């Protein structure tokens, strides 16, 4: 069974960026109203940054491409392919401003954890990052008060792999720079790698999977909701047609 990396999106889901409810529904047609067509239909408003979403380069980069650019032939591979899900076994949490705790994963820690998980000292083409003992909020998601990010040298180590093209995380952002407008990890990654945030990884074992993570293809948008799915390679092999006798 594939792993779905998004929780059910409910109207009572908390907003993570002082943006209000991330999901609201405004009725358009009422099934029981004889003045309406015989359907139930609503207008759905989504605030993607409090939901599983992808960032486009235009989210941070002044001249960056929008979400629609991910659907161009030369960037479509950002959205699917082999991925390593890494659950940090021994994250180091340090006190940070505003009552937040921060685990900044540097290149040495990242490489050591990848060797532990895979036996290989090499950067994956796609990386999903979370922690084994996930600090959870009341809704079960990654506690927003426990920031999990890469350091700049860790991002640079990933980018040294010329095929690296996607970074995914359970935390609500890819940077943690309180009091600063700097977003160094986004700026390093987004020219080449898609960035996915707010993923639900609680039920997924650490390991390598096949990822599909196609967002709504919103032309002009700097981010878009996404429902990523992981398949095991055994599942994919089982789905292959049997050879003819």
Domain ranges of the chain: 50-232
Residues with Cβ < 8 Å from 159, sequence gap 6 or more? 188, 189, 192, 193
Hunting for tokens 């700026």 — which residue is that?
A: 187
In the structure, what pLDDT confidence band is assigned to residue 73 with cuts at 50, 70 and 90? very high
Residues 147, 102: contact at Cβ < 8 Å?
A: yes
Hunting for tokens 């990933």 — which residue is that?
A: 158
Using CA atoms, how far residue 60 sits from 174, 175, 194, 195, in Å, is 11, 11, 12, 11
- State how far the Cα of 97 lies from the Cα of 51, in Å rounded to an integer: 24
- Which tokens go with 191? 């020219």
Give yes or no for residue 245 having a pLDDT over 60. Answer: no
Nearest to 224 by CA among 77, 6, 41, 11: 6
Higher-confidence position of 240 and 67: 67
CATH architecture assigned to 50-232: 3-Layer(bba) Sandwich (3.50)
What are the beta bridge partners of residue 42?
A: 27
Summarised one tens digit per residue, pLDDT across range 101-115 is 999 999 999 999 999
Return the DSSP state at 60.
T
Region 14-40: mean pLDDT is 92
Question: HSE on the CB side for 122, CA within 13 Å?
Answer: 9
Nearest to 130 by CA among 194, 177, 83, 187: 83
pTM of the model: 0.95
Region 44-63: mean pLDDT is 95
- Which tokens go with 210? 């096949």
In the structure, what pLDDT confidence band is assigned to residue 204 with cuts at 50, 70 and 90? very high
Nearest to 100 by CA among 188, 12, 21, 171: 171
In the structure, what pLDDT confidence band is assigned to residue 13 with cuts at 50, 70 and 90? confident
H-assigned helices in the chain? 107-118, 152-159, 184-189, 233-238
Residues 23, 61: contact at Cβ < 8 Å?
A: no
Strands 126-131 and 194-197: unpaired
The percentage of the chain sitting over the pLDDT mark of 70, rounded to a whole number, equals 99
The percentage of the chain sitting over the pLDDT mark of 90, rounded to a whole number, equals 90
In the structure, what pLDDT confidence band is assigned to residue 240 with cuts at 50, 70 and 90? confident
Summarised one tens digit per residue, pLDDT across range 138-195 is 888 999 999 999 999 999 999 999 999 999 999 999 999 998 999 999 999 999 999 9
Summarised one tens digit per residue, pLDDT across range 93-152 is 999 998 999 999 999 999 999 999 999 999 999 999 999 999 999 888 999 999 999 999
Q: How many residues does the chain have?
A: 245
Average pLDDT, the chain: 95
Count of C-beta atoms within a 10 Å radius of residue 81? 17
């Amino acid at each position: 069974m594939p792993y779905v990396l998004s929780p059910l999106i409910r109207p009572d889901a908390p907003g993570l960026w002082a943006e209000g409810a991330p999901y609201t529904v405004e009725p358009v047609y009422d099934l029981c109203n004889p003045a309406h067509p015989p359907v139930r239909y609503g207008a759905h408003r989504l605030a993607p940054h409090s939901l599983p979403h992808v960032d486009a380069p235009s989210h941070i980069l002044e001249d960056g491409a929008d979400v629609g650019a991910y659907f161009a032939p030369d960037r479509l591979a950002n959205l699917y392919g082999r991925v390593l899900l890494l659950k940090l076994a021994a994250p180091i949490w340090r006190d940070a401003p505003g009552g937040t705790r921060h685990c900044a994963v540097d290149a040495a820690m990242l490489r050591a954890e990848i060797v532990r998980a895979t036996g290989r000292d090499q950067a994956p083409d796609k990386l999903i990052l979370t922690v084994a003992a996930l600090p959870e909020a009341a809704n079960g998601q990654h506690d927003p008060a426990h920031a999990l990010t890469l350091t700049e040298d860790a991002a640079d180590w990933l980018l040294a792999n010329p095929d690296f093209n996607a970074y995914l995380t359970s935390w609500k952002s890819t940077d943690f720079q309180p009091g600063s407008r700097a977003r160094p990890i986004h700026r390093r990654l987004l020219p080449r790698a898609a960035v996915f945030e707010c993923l639900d990884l609680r039920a997924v074992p650490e390991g390598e999977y096949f990822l599909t993570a196609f967002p709504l293809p919103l032309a002009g948008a700097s981010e878009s909701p996404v429902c990523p799915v992981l398949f095991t390679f055994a599942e994919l092999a089982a789905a292959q047609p049997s050879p003819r006798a």
